[in-house]
Structure 1
């Protein structure tokens, strides 16, 4: 066996070991996230922010693409939870597909302006969000996010979207250094979509530090 062949075999062995180690790390990481535990969070946030495409390819060896996005969202939620609660200028971004198919609201430069007709859940969500200090935007596409960041300059963003768009949105915000929280739709498809409204409303209330302090005093 020549020296080149030995080097080639060694390289293949080393790459195989690295891939196995990464897969084991992914499995352990998913387990810990589901157990609400984060180990070496700063290292993992750097990897998630900058090498998510590689992580996705490796994850597909053991799971599905949607599961990857959901796990990634869980990680971002847990990592930024406390920082997000301290934000003073929060925005809530809702997808326009949550609207009823016969929604009378019109699209404006600031997104869709809800008229509170009661046909869908958006009116109730907006009411709770504003009571807890959020500015709310109903957007027709992800490009609106950049406009909101430019014009409103939020220091915390809560997004609702399909699992894929939610992950990439939170990834973008994380790379910008903006604490984010997210909740995935329970039914997507770009029209008449659905979100767990009760869970969302509770999370909006829980993210309000003043509410939390009041409960502690009580």
Structure 2
């Protein structure tokens, strides 16, 4: 015998009332996240201070899509990425400096267009031909106890993390890729530092080499 369940009007009304309360709570929670983020972001950008860094880290790690949409209402996408990168650099500065196994990940787009280096199992294998500045960066990084990889994509990065298990990662990339890379590492609990490119694109990009070298030496 089949039993058929019927909902009366009061039961259906209670269900919609519950949905309404739940929706209101979600909206309120989102509003609180946005408000807290605005306050913390203001101190970061205007006052050059980290206020409640652990709270801001949690919000940045888990609610960055909401923050990005908010930023697009009052600024640009790059502005959001700059704030995020700056925050991660500040937050993880000391933990990264204390890390024992550091890796430096460089993008292949920094190579000269006539670069003779070949793609190997660990990315692009620099031959130090001096056509670009990658060779000089790699030498200095290795002198300061970094393992260095020139990668053509995110697949290589994930394999490096899995096989090498670094305790600190320094990445160089365009603003968007750098932010999402730092966000990914932060959510895995890996101290991270990042240096954005001065000029992005697929080929012949550039980076502030002097600043990069200074930071590599400072974080050894």
CA apart distance, 1:59? 1.3
Q: Does 1:157 find its partner at 2:142?
A: no
After TM superposition, give the deviation of residue 79 of structure 1 in Å. 0.5
For 1:107 and 1:37, how far apart are their aligned partners in 2?
Answer: 42
Q: How far apart, in 1, do the equivalents of 2:77 and 2:120 lie? A: 34
Matched, 1:72 2:77: no
Q: Is 1:29–2:58 an aligned residue pair? A: no
Alignment correspondent of 1:184: 196
Runs of 4+ in 1 over 3 A off after TM superposition: 14-19, 21-28
1:57 aligns with 2:69: yes
Cα deviation code 1:159-180 (max 9, x no counterpart): 0000000000000000100000
Q: Residue 31 of structure 1: CA displacement?
A: 3.3
SS of alignment partner, residue 74 of structure 2: coil
TM-score by length of 2: 0.84
Alpha-carbon distance, 1:193 to partner: 0.2
Partner of residue 96, structure 1: 108
Determine if contact 2:37/2:59 at 8 Å carries over to the other structure.
no
Alignment partner for residue 40 of structure 1, among 40, 52, 73?
A: 52
Structure 1 position 171 matched with structure 2 position 183: yes
Count of residues in Structure 1 that have an aligned counterpart in Structure 2: 198
TM-score of the two chains, using structure 1 as the length reference: 0.84
Task: Quote the Cα distance in structure 1 between the aligned partners of 2:186 and 2:202.
Answer: 25
Note if contact 2:40-2:56 (Cα within 8 Å) is conserved in structure 1.
Answer: no
In 1, Cα distance between equivalents of 2:144 and 2:117: 24
Q: Is the 8 A contact 1:87 1:156 kept in 2?
A: yes
**Structure 2 CA distance for partners of 1:149 and 1:15, relative to 1, 3 Å:** closer
2:121 corresponds in structure 1 to 109
1:87 equivalenced with 2:105 (yes/no): no
Q: Which runs of 5+ in 2 are unaligned?
A: 1-19
Specify whether residues 22 and 200 from structure 1 end up closer, same or farther in structure 2 by C-alpha distance, changes over 3 A only: same
Aligned equivalents of 1:17, 1:165: Cα separation in 2: 28
Report the RMSD for the aligned CA atoms in angstroms: 2.1
Q: Distance in 1 between matches of 2:29 and 2:151?
A: 45
The C-alpha deviation readout for 1:10-65, integer Å capped at 9, x for no partner, is x99x959974x655544443332234311111111111111111111111111101
1:3 is matched with which residue?
A: none
Over alpha carbons, which structure has the higher Rg?
2
User: Following the alignment from structure 1 to structure 2, what is the Cα–Cα distance between the partners of residues 145 and 17?
Assistant: 35
